[in-house]
Amino acid sequence: MSDVSPAPALVSAPASAPVSAPASAPAPAAPWPEDRIPVDVAVGVLVRRTPDGQEGEFLLTSRPEGKVYAGYWEYPGGKLEQGETVEQALRRELQEELGITIGPAHPWKVEMMDYPHARVRLHFCKVFDWEGEFEMREQQAMAWQTLPVQVQPVLPGTIPVLRWFAEERGHTGPTHVG
């Protein structure tokens, strides 16, 4: 029996790499098990401007019943569908979940999170402009917050965002209660 122990994970290869493996060769080992392949998620950080033009409150929503981490507070958004850009996915998700039409999405940070249920690559975008009345179309709750965040519990993937806000705003002390 041949030795089929996996080669070191090949994450990327130069575009010019020769393709010389015979058709019968086993498929190369995936860099991660199937359930660890990152899922891209578009996340909207809606920020209200203060009267003097500074960044003020930001919107958190609770995860609906029936989803993993139901009841945890997060930023609205969801998984990219086939062929979508982050901005397209964000526009669709916020329309579907909140009934609003967003203006430009400003890419802010990208963060990987490993959950027991999935590995996700979170594309956080700040959004300052939107149109429409907020409707909680998935029976979620919404809360405009500032630091320290008062709603709880917050999703693990939300905590780095609060730290980034703290750095930007010179906030010291806890970023959230609980």
Ligand X SMILES: Nc1nc2c([nH]c(=O)n2[C@H]2C[C@H](O)[C@@H](COP(=O)(O)OP(=O)(O)OP(=O)(O)O)O2)c(=O)[nH]1
- Applying CB under 6 A, which residues contact ligand X? 41, 43, 67, 74-75, 77-79, 113, 115, 118, 120, 122, 155, 157-158
Taking the chain, what is the end-to-end CA distance rounded to the nearest angstrom? 55
Residues 6+ apart with CB under 8 A from 173: 148
| Token pair belonging to 58 | 């930001």
Cβ at position 72, least distance to ligand X in Å: 9
Cβ at position 155, least distance to ligand X in Å: 5
Nearer to ligand X, 158 or 175 (CB): 158
Nearer to ligand X, 109 or 171 (CB): 109
- Of 107, 111, 98, which Cα lies nearest the Cα of 155? 111
Q: Are 38 and 121 in contact (CB under 8 A)?
A: yes
Cβ at position 134, least distance to ligand X in Å: 16
Give the residue at shortest CB distance from ligand X. 157
Angle at the Cα of 74 from the Cα atoms of 177 and 164, rounded to 5 degrees: 70
Nearer to ligand X, 92 or 171 (CB): 92
Nearer to ligand X, 48 or 137 (CB): 137
